[in-house]
Amino acid sequence: MCQDMSSAPLKVYLATPRGFCAGVDRAIQIVERALERYGAPVYVRHEIVHNKHVVDRLKALGAIFVKELEQCPPDRPVVFSAHGVPKSVPAEARDRQMFFLDATCPLVSKVHVEAERHHDEGREIILIGHAGHPEVIGTMGQLPPGTVKLIETVEQARQFVPVDPENLAFVTQTTLSVDDTAEIVSALQARFPAIKVPHKEDICYATTNRQDAVKQVSGDCDLVLVIGSAKSSNSQRLVEVALRAGAKAAYLVDDASFVDWTWFENVRTLGISAGASAPENLIEGLVAAVSARFDAEVIESNGVRETVTFKLPKAVA
């Protein structure tokens, strides 16, 4: 796009809430406090959250990110990521007498507890989620192999053959599309009326709030940009939600440097949001980049104000 854009008017709608949720904030604080209290290096199993900028900043402070515990020395602290881990991971850490801190989001831990309760009560368990996602691996890993059946789509829900249709329960990944999940749940309940549902919806408040906020702005937008990692389930879902809600185009970008300015041709209204693991400074950088190229009017949407906080483990509180 070669023409001068600096005088072109552009309305920029900032979705609220956006960015960090309480679970992400807690996980990052656990790594930061561990570094302060125990010194560097502190090891972290897998990315603490799915955001390269967050991971790189923690690396600079002295965190070392590894894939498995065998890469960690036994005399240094190790932190488990916010997505949760299979039971075998803390068991291995205890066997090796390692000092570990579990940064699993409490809302993910709630799903783990639900799954275990259903298993203890003899039910077959369905997990609605995305194969290969760390949260799904962690949730399935709370119970013996083969115990939890994964369903990703409505079609799979329609084809699923349970052992006993009268003795089923489902749990869900916390970062799914609210609308997609509702369709899958409806399909399951239509086939299996006796299926046990979560006491409280498993999709977390932050995922729901961010999707609602994107819906609120997207119908008025020619373009929506979501800041977040391609690895981030909740960020990917925001792009899908924006398109379904009426945005003419929507893209996921790591930060402002990933924006293709040809996307802005004939764009007069822009929506901006960010996944739950994206820091606010990335949003500020995107707004600044847009404002440098357009006569931008930035409008903050009137969304839910989140006040949720989670306690830190005693070892770093």
Look up 300 and say whether it is catalytic.
Answer: no
Q: Where are the beta strands (DSSP E) in 193-294?
A: 223-227, 250-253, 269-274
Determine which one of 135, 280, 297, 306 is catalytic: 135
Task: Choose among 276, 313, 298: nearest CA to 33.
Answer: 313
Residue 211, classed as helix, strand or coil, is: helix
Q: Are 113 and 163 in contact (CB under 8 A)?
A: no
Q: How far is CA 166 from the centre of its chain?
A: 32
Residue 184, classed as helix, strand or coil, is: helix
Residue type, 48: I
Q: Are 269 and 249 in contact (CB under 8 A)?
A: no
Question: What residues contact residue 267 under an 8 Å CB cut-off, 6+ apart?
Answer: 10, 222, 223
Q: Which residue has the tokens 């962690």?
A: 138
Distance CA 242, CA 3 (A): 28
Q: Are 21 and 296 in contact (CB under 8 A)?
A: no
Residue type, 289: A
Distance CA 223, CA 204 (A): 26
Residue type, 40: A
Residues known to be catalytic: 135
